[in-house]
Each structure stands twice: as C-alpha cells, then as structure tokens.
Structure 1
Amino acid sequence: MTLALTAKAQLWTNPTTGIPSANVTTITIDSQDKVWIGTLSGLAALQHGQWEPYHINNIQTEDEILKVWTTDQKLWLGTGYRGLWGFDGASQWDDLQLSSAGVGTIGFGEDSEGTLWVLSTSGTLIKWAGGNWEELILGIPEATDVLVDRDDQVWVLSASEGLLKYKDGVTKRWSSGGDAPTRPNYIPSNSLHDMVQDKQGIYWIASDQGLLRFDGTSFSVFDTVNSGIGSNKTRRLAIDKNGALWIGTEDAGISKYNGSSWVTYNMLNSPMGSNIINSIAIDASNRVWIANGYDHLHYEGEAKGCLCWMRRMT
C-alpha cells in the first residue's frame, strides 16, 4: 500500500544548508538524542537547528565517512581508508588503528563485555579486547556489515556469500544456491546488506531478494509478490519506538511494516528527492531520519542529502 504523506519534513540537500556534503552515507542518534551524519566530506552534528562540522583529530580535512555508530560512552567512525576512530563528541579523538594500514571500516558492534567487533573493507572480522586487535576471519568476500546481537553472537553479512555467525571460536554459515532450500544452512539470498534484531529476538535482514525474517532456525521472505514491500532490493533497516520496521530500498523509497500492514513512501508521495535510501535512524520522538539519494556504487550524482519527518508518520 502506498499512501500520501502529509507530515512536515525538513531537508538538508547541499552544503549551503550546513551539511558537509550532499553525499550523506550514514545517520545515527546518540544517547542524548543528538543527530550525527557521516558524509564523503566529513562528520557533522545537528545542534540548535544548525549543523556543526567535526574533523577527525581536529584537523580540517575532508574525510570519507562510511558509517557512524554510537555506544553509551562514545561515537565511532568507520572511514574509507583511515580505519576506526573513537570520538567523545567534543574534542577528544582516539585512533584505533586496524591491523592493516589504509584499511577502512564498514561494520562495528560492541558486546556485553565491552569488546569491540569491527568489519574492515577488506572483509576481515576483527575484535578489540585487552588493548589489542585480533583478526579472526579473513577475506570475507564482499562483506557489507556486522551485527552483535543480545546474546553476543556476531553476524557478518556479505553481498555474495550470504550470512556468517561467530561465537566463542565457532563459525556457522548460511548460503543460497546448490540444492533445495530444505538443507539446514540454506538462506533465500546470498546478497545481504543490513540486519537488525527486534524485541522478540527475531532477526530481519535486508537482501536483494526482499526482506528476510529469521527466527534462528528458518527463514521466510517478504517480497513484492507476497507482501506490500516497495522493492525486493532492500538495503537499510531500522525499528521505531512502536516496534514497526522501516525498510530502505535501492530504488523504491522506504517501506514501513508494523507486523500486519505495509506503507511505502517514495518520491511521488513524500518529500524525498530520490528513491535511493542509504541510511535510516529513529530519534527519541520517533521521528524518521533518512540519508537520501546516495549510492556510491551506482548513483553518486543523485545525492540528495538527508531529511527528517518532523511529525511521526502513520
């Protein structure tokens, strides 16, 4: 189902509106409900209605920020070629140099013991414990993201090799292709991009074949044939304060699923300047923040900055 959107929105579409670049790659909300964006030209935070830029190590350079994550104590930046950086939100920067120089960071998680888990652009899963990096799994083809779940299981996603789970030195993999879907390690798609876990412990995965639901044992698929999702090319996921799932797509805007019904928002019925969704975040007021129109693989010229729906959509 597609509905017209009447909620008020605010857009930041180019550097004249205060953002470092229209190429917004990532959005996150910290514990103080401050909005942070990463762009191809650096980091910025929204304060008192204005974007304030921040520069890694307080040196004014245009750093390529691929992902930004928050923990209770710190902001974490995954860069295109300078590894992982920690930031206290004011002026203190920590360079957590990865094992290999010149390697970027595309995935990050923290477990209940405070151990950091990092996925590098070279496809290596690395953990930080006791002040040292330890490389655990090397060369994961086309790795895209990592999730540390509530049981401290580490999940690694790939755009070509499916899903991998790591816990206490034991690795398990799921892949598609080959024989029938009845085999225990079958997954409906090998091309995975994002993963979240809801309050019931169910995993949701964005894939090229639609939205995957995984209960830890079996998968089910929501696609354009059997559901109201806008596109099978799903890319980014977020869960709002009411438990509804927001699904960003590569070509059809953003769909919302509340467990029983679907709504899709796109360029025709919303303020979005592009149907490409690069990042989604939900703030404390249940407002939806979107990085819109940037895909570094295909559509860089269509970058549309970021937008916020100022009143919650229904």
Structure 2
Amino acid sequence: MRKWYLLFLVFTAMYAQAQEEMEVIRCSAVSRQSPVRNVFVDENNNKWAANAQGVFRIYDSGLGEPVNVPAGEQQLLGILGGNAELSWSMEAIKGIAGPDVRITCAVYDANRKALWIGTADAGLFQLKPGPPLQLAEHLTAGDSKLRSNHINTVHLDARGRLWAGTEQGVLVGENGRWKLLEKDFNILSIAGKGLEAWLLGDGLVGRVDARDSWLPIEIPARKTEGPLRAITFDDAGYLWIASEVVTRYNPETEVFTVFGPAQEFTSQYTTCLAADHDGAVWVGTEDKGLFLIQKASAMSVNILVQKEVSCGGDGKNGALLVKISGGQPPYSYKWTSGLSGDNPKGLAPGAYSLTLTDSGGKAKIANIELQAPAAPQVKASTVAIATTGQSDGQAKATVTGGASPYSHAWDNGEAVATATKLAPGPATVAV
C-alpha cells in the first residue's frame, strides 16, 4: 500500500506542476519595436537578448541593461544561437569569409574552443577565436556533405556534436566526420533533450533516434497556427513550439497547451526561444519585441551594482540594489555577509549572496560579485605640435579603467585632459 501511495503522490505532484497557471508578459526590458535576434540563458540562469539596438543583459521582464561591445566588433550573443560573451573584429571575419558575408547563426564550443558560424550563402565556418581570429574549417556544398550553403541554425548537443540545419537537411558530426540527415527537408530549428536532438522543418517536429531516423510527432489541429518557426526544451522536459502562437508539449502525456492572443501572446512572427531555469520561456519576435511566459506565481530577484567600488576612500564605497518582481510583500532579506535591506552601501570588493523570502514563504537566492577597481590606463597623443620657441603645443590624455572622474597633472602645471600650453620636447601626465 505504501508503494501505491508514494506513486500516487508522485503523479499528483506531476499533475499539479502541469496544471500550474501560466502568464504571458510583453517585456519592456528591451525595445518593443525592435526585432529580437537572439535570446540566451546560461547555466547560472543569466539571461541575454539581442536586437537591432545591441545586446542586453536581462534581469526580469521590465529590467534590461545594455552590454558594452567595443567599436568595430561583433558580439556572439547578438547572433541567433549565440551562447557566450565572445566578440571579434568585424574586419577579421570579413577577411576570412568575404566582405559581403551575411551571418545567420553562430555557436561557441567551449570544450574545443571552436566558434561555428553559419552564413546565408557561404556555408559553415569553424574558427579559432584567438585573437587573432583564425579559420579552422570551411564547409560548403561544393566540397563537403552539405547540399546547401544556406545555414538556418546551429546547435551543440550533449555529446559535443555540431548540428547545422540547412535548406536541404541537417549536417551533424564532430572532429571532421560529418553526415547529412533528412536532405529533403528545410531544417529551421534544433533543440536538445538530454542526449536526444529534436528537429523542426517543413511543418514537422520530432526527435532523431539512435539510428539517425527522424520521428515527427503528431500535432493535432489548432494546437499550432501557421508556419512552425522555432523549438526549445525547458528543464522539466516540456517541448515549446513557436508558430503564430506558442505551444507547450509534454512528451510523456502528449498534452498540448496553447498560448495565443487569448493569453496575451500577440505576435505571429517568433524569431527565437530560450527556457530559463525557473520554468519560464523567453520568446523573441520580429514585430513585438520580447515576451515572457512564466508561472503566475513566479518571483524573480536580481542584485544590481548601484555604485562600483572606486579607488578613493578606504575601498569600501560600493553599493548594491535589490530588484524584485512578483511574490507577496513584505519581503525579508538575509545576506551572507551581515548586510541588511534592499540597498546595502559602504561595501568592499567581494562576493555577496542574498536569500529573499516573501510573506508567503517563497524564497529565492541571488548572488553578485563586486569587482575591485581596475587601475587606470593612460594614453597620451599629440593634438598639435609646438611652434619653435613657443609653448603652444597640444596633447590629449585618454584614460580607460579606474573610476571617473579623473584628475590630470601635466608637467607644465596644466590640470585638464587636453593640455594646450606645452613647450617643444617630451611631456608627461599623471592621472
């Protein structure tokens, strides 16, 4: 009887989880008008989204922060499939792939230190990120098993194999050994569930079995609408399918749940999907920005750096700010470092952890590290050469690192970033 009772409890818990109410939120963390190109969630549940305006770190549905990308560089997270904070020179990639290269997707294999880039008409590139960026392998329809040079999507599976979806099948392999599967299908999206790979192409979705056979599932009428565009799996094993609506599919029970206009999902043009580790799914769209589908009871906690630790004072002038979404106030704050409240100040560099509990007893843990201030780096450059016998030379000091504002001290007594009264000969500046 005990075994039956325990089994009943397990199925009851699974049923309750499946029935938990979900909500759809149109996010304001990024522009609602700019097409979303990529969404990525890392193993620590950090989230990023990219659109035409750049790459953004996403804290919750209403809070996003731009990621600084150096001028002239391209950020991997800004490309469909991008999965790491990695950037490279745009001139370097053009030098390898051609000046007119159109990148469609990319993924980084951290174990092999290999960057894979798919293109619209130049095939698939494997690069060593360097610096400098170096070509390791170039696969095209003319000299490999590829039949199409248009790469729709790239995916790394749990075994470390690369999957590249193309207009004529999916290329899969590793270490230079490749095979082409389902060559008659236009493969648009690939997702992993454990050791399994699932494909989406030409209106079909299904797993690839151990014999490399594609086994599409049967999708009942009205469970999707229009063209199928993208798939992903969440940590609970649910498959999410994007069409003109978003559909959640339970492979164990074969139950479909639809999120459409009636549930406030109002875009017909999904571009990408990513599931986080709280059971939520982030949906990038072409026409309405970013959506979040999450449990209605969800609570998110983020710690932001309100003030970096600066060089001045005793090195204890940093400040943190806690941002909460959802849950039931009032909240209690328990810091591992003896701090208190939602805005601790006077902090030194180091790691800080917070356990936040709402009035209903739900708890969330958030972590952050305050970095020590970087020493300023100074570069002086000539603006105007001094006239012989005159003190009219000009030079500019450019500072990176440290914490602004900066103070300047030129050897002629000037205390500004650009000195304008320099005599002929060497000049020095202290910052």
Q: Quickly name the TM-score band, shorter chain normalised.
A: 0.5 to 0.7
Q: Which residue is equivalent to 1:222?
A: 259
Q: In structure 2, which of residues 278, 283, 298 is the aligned counterpart of residue 247 of structure 1?
A: 283
Amino acid at match of 2:105: K
Q: Which residue is equivalent to 1:294?
A: none
Q: Which residue is equivalent to 2:135?
A: 93
CA offsets, 1:114-169, max 9 Å, x none? 332221233x12222563321221111x4312223313x222212x4221321112
Report the CA distance between 1:77 and its aligned residue.
0.6
Please identify the structure whose Cα radius of gyration is greater.
2
What is the TM-score when the length of structure 1 is the normalising length? 0.61
Contact preservation (8 Å) 2:104, 2:153: no
Matched, 1:191 2:245: no
Q: In structure 2, which of residues 71, 80, 88 is the aligned counterpart of residue 26 of structure 1?
A: 80
Q: C-alpha separation between the residues in 2 aligned to 1:244 and 1:146?
A: 19
Report 1:126-275 matches (<5 A).
126-129=171-174, 131-140=176-185, 142-151=186-195, 153-158=196-201, 160-169=202-211, 170-174=213-217, 181=221, 188-189=224-225, 191-208=227-244, 210-216=245-251, 217-225=254-262, 227-240=263-276, 242-260=278-296
Contact preservation (8 Å) 1:57, 1:93: no
Q: Which residue is equivalent to 1:281?
A: none
Report 1:66-145 matches (<5 A).
66-72=104-110, 73=112, 74-90=114-130, 91-97=133-139, 98-100=144-146, 103-122=149-168, 124-129=169-174, 131-140=176-185, 142-145=186-189
Structure with the higher fraction of residues in helix conformation: 2
Higher relative contact order, structure no. (Cα contacts within 8 Å, ≥ 6 residues apart): 1
Report the CA distance between 1:172 and its aligned residue.
1.4
Aligned length: 236
Identity of aligned residues (%): 18
Q: C-alpha separation between the residues in 1 aligned to 2:239 and 2:92?
A: 34
What CA RMSD, in Å, does the superposition of the two structures yield over aligned residues? 3.8
Unmatched tracts of structure 2, length 5 or more: 1-24, 30-61, 305-321, 326-431
Q: C-alpha separation between the residues in 1 aligned to 2:65 and 2:237?
A: 32
Contact preservation (8 Å) 1:202, 1:213: yes
Secondary structure at the aligned position of 2:80 is classed as strand
Q: C-alpha separation between the residues in 2 aligned to 1:147 and 1:235?
A: 14
Q: C-alpha separation between the residues in 2 aligned to 1:55 and 1:35?
A: 14
Secondary structure at the aligned position of 1:54 is classed as helix
Q: C-alpha separation between the residues in 1 aligned to 2:271 and 2:161?
A: 27
Report the CA distance between 1:56 and its aligned residue.
5.9
Q: C-alpha separation between the residues in 2 aligned to 1:248 and 1:93?
A: 31
Amino acid at match of 1:84: L
